[in-house]
Structure 1
Amino acid sequence: MHYSTEPMSDSVPSRKKRRPSPKMILLIWILLIALGVTAAYLYSNHLKDSMIAQMNLEIQTRTEAMKTDYTTQLAALSAEIQELNSKVEAFNELLTFTKDNSSNKTDNSNKLYSQLNEVKEQLAALQKKMDLLK
């Protein structure tokens, strides 16, 4: 047998050539997976919060638009009702005057009554529209 006096470098691996242990690799993978899951969870919460804020803003904008539209329609209907009320009053006055001055001719008063009924029907229809808007 031949014995050498040089140190045996092949039988004991040096620190530079040593590979990491499987436990260390497993631990690093678990940490990376945990970090990925945590990052995904935080990002999804961030997206959810931003979407909720955006939806709230959109809903608020639409609500304000609906409010202004409703008030505009309500004001227009109120103006129409006031106009029709004044027409009804004018027709009532004319009808009273015609009735007082009428002779055997009832044809004119019948026309006034029919016009008055038409105006009342329009007033009732506008009142229904106004009630629907309320």
Structure 2
Amino acid sequence: MNMPIETSAVNPFPRAAKSTKVKRKTYVYLFLSWLFLIAIGVTAAKLYTDHLRAAIANDIAQQTQQQLKAVQDDYQKQVGQLKDSVNADISDMQKKVDSLNELLAFTKDSANSKTDNSNQLYTQLADVKAKLEELQKNLDVLK
């Protein structure tokens, strides 16, 4: 019983060749799935950070707007108070200027050489008194 061993070009381990092809395909699919999951994760992280950035920008804009409104209201209040203060100071100053003008007019009248009692007002009062006496005499004559 001697049988000759035949050698053929056929792979003596047909399952081994088939399993390496399957293993390679499995590894390629796993690698592609892994890359796909990483891409999804990176995309989701990018979208989330963009969303957070927009939300933070909106919050900062609202806070800035509120602070600017508060500063503007305070500024308007201070300007109003300053206006009132300046108007009060101007009216006080106007009163002082009027008093000074009256004093200067009195001094000018006092320095005038035409006044008989060093005051034009006193002279005018004397003229009015003289006219009143004249009218009184005319009234007495008519009675």
- Give the TM-score normalised by the residue count of structure 2: 0.57
* Structure whose residues are more often helix by fraction: 2
**Structure whose alpha-carbon radius of gyration is higher:** 2
Residue 90 in structure 1 maps to residue 67 in structure 2? no
Displacement after TM superposition at 1:96 (Å): 1.3
What is the identity percentage for the equivalent residue pairs of Structure 1 and Structure 2? 26
- Give the TM-score normalised by the residue count of structure 1: 0.61
Structure 2 residue identity aligned to 1:29: W
Displacement after TM superposition at 1:101 (Å): 2.8
Displacement after TM superposition at 1:64 (Å): 0.4
Paired position in structure 2 for 1:55: 60
Which runs of at least 4 in structure 1 moved beyond 4 Å after TM superposition? none
> Which of 26, 41, 44 in structure 1 is aligned with 2:49?
44
Q: Give the number of equivalent residue pairs.
A: 93
Equivalent positions of 1:10-49 (< 5 A) are 12=15, 21-49=26-54
CA-to-partner distance for each residue in 1:23-60, whole Å, 9 max, x for gaps? 11111111111011011101110111101110110111
Instruction: List gaps (5 residues or longer) in structure 1.
Output: 1-10, 105-134
Hey, what's the Cα distance between the residues in 2 that align with 1:39 and 1:96?
83
Residue 78 in structure 1 maps to residue 47 in structure 2? no
Displacement after TM superposition at 1:12 (Å): 4.6
Structure 2 residue identity aligned to 1:91: K
Displacement after TM superposition at 1:100 (Å): 2.6
Cα RMSD, aligned residues only: 2.5
Identify the structure with bigger relative contact order (alpha carbons < 8 Å, sequence gap 6+). 1
Instruction: List gaps (5 residues or longer) in structure 2.
Output: 1-13, 17-21, 112-143
Q: Which shifted more, 52-61 or 94-103? A: 94-103
